[in-house]
Every structure is written in structure tokens, then in C-alpha cells.
Amino acid sequence: MYFVDILKKFIAYYKPYKKVLFADLFFASLASVTVLAYPMLVNQITNNAISDEGIAIELVVKMVLIFGLLMVVEYASNFYTDYFGHVMGAKIESDMRNDLFEHIQKLSFQYHDNTRTGQLMSRITTDLFDVSELAHHGPEDTVISMVRIMGSFFILVNINWMLTLVIFLILPLMLIFAYHYSIKMKNALKKNKERIADINSQIEDSLSGIRVVQSFANEEIEMDKFRSSNHRFLESRKSGYRVEALFFNGLTGFISFINISVVIVGAILISYNQLLLTELITFLLYINTLIDPVKRLVNFTNNLQNGVAGFERFMEILAVKPDIMDAKNVTVLSDVKGKVEFVNVGFQYSSESNYVFSHINITVNPGEYVALVGSSGVGKTTLCSLIPRFYETSEGLIKIDDTNIKTIKLKSLRDHIGIVQQDIYLFSGTVKENILYGKPGATDEEIITAARNANAHEFIMGLPGGYNAYIGQRGVKLSGGQKQRISIARVFLKNPAILILDEATSALDNESESLVQQSLEKLAKNRTTFVIAHRLSTIRNAQRIIVLSDQGIAEEGTHANLIKIDGVYAKLYNMQFNPVTL
Ligand code: ADP
Ligand code: MG
């Protein structure tokens, strides 16, 4: 992305804060001007107030009063920039963070399949800190530095142009040094960011899998992995601090060199009667008003590079187009009958990988109960995940009630599809919050009806706190069957026309299986249902069974028909129910 584009995007974020920004720049300039005035006052006192005739009290009092007034102006201005300027930076950062999170939520399964959550977390959190610093200090420091450099340059030349020349002979060397080191600093800081992102991913991974870690008693292995990424972070910080120390002390060295050179040349000029001692003192005071903003500018280039690095990482994600989104003229589904049609559908997960299936043609009538059967990895889950457009078909199209799903508003499409899977994801929170997820804003009666339908009401009432019981992260405080029944209640509440049941009972023991099975049968009533089950007993009464093989649809029919033709299904069925005995 071009720098100009990045800059434009960046500037756009200032829009809501225009007033604060201008006030900030105004007060920053005001503070800079007051700083320029101080050495002038000192000069007045040393030159005119103190002389061989004594001290001119009146003048001293006047100067001190002006001094005091300027200080009040300076501190008040600095207060404004320090407080409101920083707050503006933080607000911009927070706006960017909201935009980023909103965007990441829209990115497709395909994107999330290939991205580590921890890396995204670090982009949403820490990377943007630097951007806020830049947002605040960027314009402010530029203005402060310009005012001060120009002002003090003008004053210095006025005092003595030869001494000014001395400074400007050394200054370019200092800037070359600063430039060289600021690049090194940028690289070091970028490395720090990558390392902290690694640590975040590692924490996310190890802690999400803490049960697996502990059950394999592999804490040491996880600790080793963590130790080594933590160590790499430490190393990169070390080299960062080394560059920083060299950089800042080098700068201080240059500044001392400038001061000493000015003193030497000044002494020579005094001895030739080209300069007054008081002028030399004032000059020395002004060197700092000149050097200070130069240091600030140098610092700012660091801020800039750091912030730009963060902003670039931010823009990188914003630039990822959600590959699944609403088309231009979308239709909103209303009164869905639930006819689902696959027309010549083919799918591959990426352009490099093989087709999972192709030329799939299926028409499912409203309210029909269809089972998908086939060996593991044949593509049953994948086929179903195309209906809510979790992934986009690579070939062909899918229609719901004769409308191509690509022309349906995504939210509307997904509102009409309910999914119950084998691995259930519940959010940390209460039972009620989790069921409500199916229809935010539902009444308590609706929630309880849904829970009853899902055979969940009884056990929920037995929990401490009932519907307000906290279920732990991902619902760890519940048994597998209980979690599944809550996830079914969630779908009951959603009340979709189309239902996908993907191995919903596979992970359960016999007792909870029959409870879950009962509620699933209730759920499927009057809805178009796709059921995937490896226990063929549960799908025997499906209206239609579709058998998938690597070649696509191998067979299709009722249980009785498929047994009669004695093909793939019959073989699978016999394997489960009449194991061959020797
Ligand atoms: P089934 O549900 O029939 O067991 P799946 O639909 O889960 O099979 O998987 C079909 C094929 O697609 C498998 O070969 C699997 O490795 C692959 N696959 C599944 N999910 C993904 C994914 N997110 N990215 C890439 N390949 C995948
Ligand atoms: Mg599957």
C-alpha cells in the first residue's frame, strides 16, 4: 500500500476530533513561543538590570512578573496538550480498535482457519497503542518543533551569525547519526511486536487446551515452549535497549560537542571583541531551545515509524476483503418454506487443494428429513457448511426456496438455518445468556419453553442458580449431554426453517443420547432437516438417505430401498449391525 493511501486513511480518523486537534496545535505553539521568550528575559536581566551602578529593581520586578505570567501560560497550555491531546489519541485508537474488531468478525471461516487467534489479539490490543501515541504526538510535535527551531534560529542568527554557523556545521552530522539509528530502532521495535504476538498466540493455545495439557501431564512441554518464546522476546528487547542506549547517548554526545564548540569559538570571538560575554550566555541558553526540538523531531521519527508499523499491520487486516459478504441487490427471506437445492455443486477448500466433491445435485423439499451418510472425511460436514455460506461453492450454486443463496442477505440467510454440531461451543456466562444467543431479547417464558423442548429444563432447575447458573468457560461445568441440550434449546429459540444436525449425538453416552435424540426429533418437526450421523440406527427412519462417496453421490433412497439394492449403504449398515464373526 502506498504511503499516501496510508496517510489518507490515518487522517480520516481525526475527523470527529477536528476541534480538539486544532486547539491542541494552538496550545502547543503557544507553549513553544513562551519557551522562546525565557532566554530573552534572562538576557534583559544580565544586560540591563544588573550593571556597575547596581540593580535596577523596577526592571527586575517587571521581568519576574513577565516570567511568572509566561510560566502560567506555558503550564496551562502544556496541561491542555498533555491531557486533551492524549485523550484524543486514545479515542482515535479506540475507534480503530472497534473498526478492526468489526472487520475481523466479518472475515470468513477460510480466513480464520488460516490465522492464529493470538496474533489477531495482539493486533487488536498492543499494536494500536503505538498508533495512539502517533495520532497525538504526530501533529503536535511537528508544530512545536517547527515553531521552536525557526524561532530560535532567528534569534541565534541575530545574536551572532558566526556562532550559529558552528551549530549548523555540526547539526547535519547529528541528523545523519539520528537517521541511521532510528532505522535500527524501528527494526528492533517491529521485532518486539512480532515476538509479543507469538507469546499471545502461545498463551491462547496452551490455555484453551489446558485440559489436554493437564491430562497428558505435559505442563513441562508447554512451559518449555512458553519459556523459549518468552526468551526470544527478552532477547529482542535486549537488542532494542542496546540500540536505544547507543542512540540517546550518542545524541547527548553530539549536543555536548555543539555546546563545547560554541564555548570555544565564543571565547575566541570575545577575545577579538566580536562578542559580549552576556551574549554568549544567552546564546548558550538558546542552543537548548534549538536542540530540544531537534531531539523531539528525532524522537518523533521513532514514534512515527513505530506508529506507522502498527498502523500498517492494522491496515493489512482491514485490507483483507471479507470474501463472503452481501451482494449489491440482496433479498431478505421472509416466510421461508425450506426448499433446499444443490445445483451441480463442487467445492475445494483452496485453489491448491483437491475438490472435496463436485457435480452434487440434490433437491430437498420443505420439511423433508434427509440423512447424509458416508465414511469419515468424505465431505458431509463440508457439504452442509455451504448452505449457510460458511464457505462459498467453487462450482454450481445452492438455492433456498428457488433463490440463489448468494443473492440473499447473509444475516437473513443465517437467521433461517439452525445448526447442532458434535463439538458444542458455549460462551462463558449463564445458562440463560447462552440460550438467549438463539434469539436475543426473547422473554423468560420463551426461554423456558425452548429449554423444556430441549429436555434441558429439569437439569437446569437443578443447577445452583437455575437459569442464572454460571457454566464456566465454554461450558466446562456441564456434562456433554447437558451442553448439547443447551445448544439445542438455543436452536429451538431461534426457530429456523432449515436444520443441520451434524453428528449431534456422537460424543454422548447412551443415556444422554436418548434424551438428546428425543429433543432433536422434536426440533426437526416441520423443518427441512439435514442429519449426519455415523450411528445408522438414528437415521433409519429418514425420508431419504443420501450416500456420499469419494466419487460424489453414490446412492439415494429410503433405508429399505438401499438395503434392497445391497450397495455401499447396505455394506456400512451390515458392518454396524451384523459384524462379521469368524
Ligand atoms: P466428513 O464430515 O464427511 O467427515 P469433512 O467435510 O469434515 O468430512 O471433510 C472433508 C474433507 O475436507 C476432509 O478431507 C478434510 O480433511 C477436509 N477439510 C475439512 N475441513 C477443512 C478446512 N477447514 N480446511 C481445509 N480442509 C478441510
Ligand atoms: Mg463431519
DSSP helix, strand, coil percent of the chain (3-state; round to 5): 65, 10, 20
Measured over the CA atoms of residue 397, residue 405, residue 427 and residue 523, the dihedral's sign is negative
Pocket test for ligand 1, best of 112, 382, 572 (most atoms within 8 A of CB): 382
> Cα dist. 342→98, 317, 363, 484 in Å?
38, 33, 6, 29
Query: Do 83 and 27 meet the contact criterion of CB atoms below 8 Å apart?
Result: no
CA of 377 to the centre of ligand 2 (A): 7
Q: Which three three-digit cell numbers place residue 147?
A: 515553531
Residue 373: φ, ψ to 5°: -125, 150
Tell me the Cα Rg of the chain.
36
Give a three-class secondary structure readout of 126-137: HHHHHHHHHHHH
Q: Which residues of 301-322 are buried (b: 16+ CB within 10 A; e: fewer)?
A: bbbbbbbbbbbbbbbebeeeee
Measured over the CA atoms of residue 232, residue 233, residue 235 and residue 240, the dihedral's sign is positive
Q: Which three three-digit cell numbers place residue 495?
A: 426457530
Residue 401: φ, ψ to 5°: 45, 45
Counting from 1 in the atom list of ligand 1, the atom nearest the Cα of 113 is 23
Give the whole-angstrom CA distance, residue 279 versus residue 163: 11
ipTM confidence score: 0.98
Q: Which three three-digit cell numbers place residue 203?
A: 498463551
Say yes or no: CB of residue 349 within 6 Å of ligand 1: yes
In the sheet with 544-549, reading across from the earlier edge strand, the strands are 417-421, 498-502, 528-532, 369-373, 544-549, 552-557
Pocket test for ligand 1, best of 112, 345, 353, 356 (most atoms within 8 A of CB): 356
Longest dimension (CA), the chain: 127
- Measured by CA distance, the residue closest to atom 7 of ligand 1 is 381
Say yes or no: CB of residue 423 within 6 Å of ligand 1: no
Q: Which ligand lies nearest to the CA atom of residue 382 in the structure?
A: 1
CA of 437 to the centre of ligand 1 (A): 27
Pocket test for ligand 1, best of 111, 112, 114, 349 (most atoms within 8 A of CB): 349
3-class secondary-structure state, position 351? coil
Supply the pLDDT for residue 487. Answer: 94
CA of 423 to the centre of ligand 2 (A): 11
Give the whole-angstrom CA distance, residue 497 versus residue 476: 30
* Number of Cβ within a 10 Å radius of residue 519: 24
Counting from 1 in the atom list of ligand 1, the atom nearest the Cα of 385 is 6
Q: Which ligand lies nearest to the CA atom of residue 385 in the structure?
A: 1
Say yes or no: CB of residue 381 within 6 Å of ligand 1: yes
The environment of the single-atom ion ligand 2, i.e. residues with CB closer than 5 A, is 381
- Measured by CA distance, the residue closest to atom 19 of ligand 1 is 382
CA of 378 to the centre of ligand 1 (A): 7
CA of 156 to the centre of ligand 2 (A): 78
What is the pLDDT tens value at each position of the chain, 582 positions in all?
567 888 888 899 999 999 999 999 999 999 988 988 887 887 777 777 777 777 788 888 888 899 899 999 999 999 999 999 999 999 999 999 999 999 999 999 989 988 888 888 888 888 888 888 888 888 888 888 888 888 888 888 988 898 999 998 998 898 899 888 888 887 888 888 889 888 988 888 888 888 889 888 889 999 999 999 999 999 999 998 999 899 889 988 998 999 999 999 999 999 999 888 888 988 888 888 888 888 878 777 777 777 877 888 888 888 888 888 888 889 998 889 999 999 999 999 998 999 999 999 999 999 999 999 998 899 999 999 999 999 999 999 999 999 999 999 999 999 999 999 988 899 989 999 999 999 999 999 999 999 999 999 999 999 999 999 999 888 888 998 999 999 999 999 999 999 999 998 887 877 778 888 888 999 999 999 999 987 787 788 889 999 999 888 999 999 999 999 998 899 888 887 766 555
Query: Do 23 and 84 meet the contact criterion of CB atoms below 8 Å apart?
Result: yes
Pocket test for ligand 1, best of 381, 394, 500 (most atoms within 8 A of CB): 381
Angle at 493 (CA atoms; ends 500, 404), nearest 5 degrees: 45
- The one-letter amino acid code at 390 reads F
Supply the pLDDT for residue 536. Answer: 82
- Residue of 32, 10, 172 lying closest to 92 (CA atoms): 10
Beta bridge partners of 345: 360
Counting from 1 in the atom list of ligand 1, the atom nearest the Cα of 380 is 3
Q: Are strands 417-421 and 498-502 parallel, antiparallel or unpaired?
A: parallel
Say yes or no: CB of residue 546 within 6 Å of ligand 1: no
- Measured by CA distance, the residue closest to atom 10 of ligand 1 is 379
Supply the pLDDT for residue 370. Answer: 96
pTM over 0.90: no
Say yes or no: CB of residue 373 within 6 Å of ligand 1: no
Q: Within 13 Å of residue 193, how many CA atoms lie on the same side as its CB?
A: 28
**Exposed / middle / buried, residue 504 (Cβ in 10 Å: 0-12, 13-18, 19+):** buried
- Measured by CA distance, the residue closest to atom 6 of ligand 1 is 379
Query: Do 350 and 422 meet the contact criterion of CB atoms below 8 Å apart?
Result: no
Q: Which ligand lies nearest to the CA atom of residue 380 in the structure?
A: 1
Say yes or no: CB of residue 500 within 6 Å of ligand 1: no
Give the whole-angstrom CA distance, residue 271 versus residue 265: 10
Give the whole-angstrom CA distance, residue 81 versus residue 27: 7
Query: What are the pLDDT digits (tens) for 524-559?
Result: 999 999 999 877 877 888 899 999 998 889 999 999
Give the whole-angstrom CA distance, residue 137 versus residue 143: 10
CA of 349 to the centre of ligand 2 (A): 15
Element (H, E) at 555: strand 552-557
Q: How far is CA 235 from the centre of its chain?
A: 25
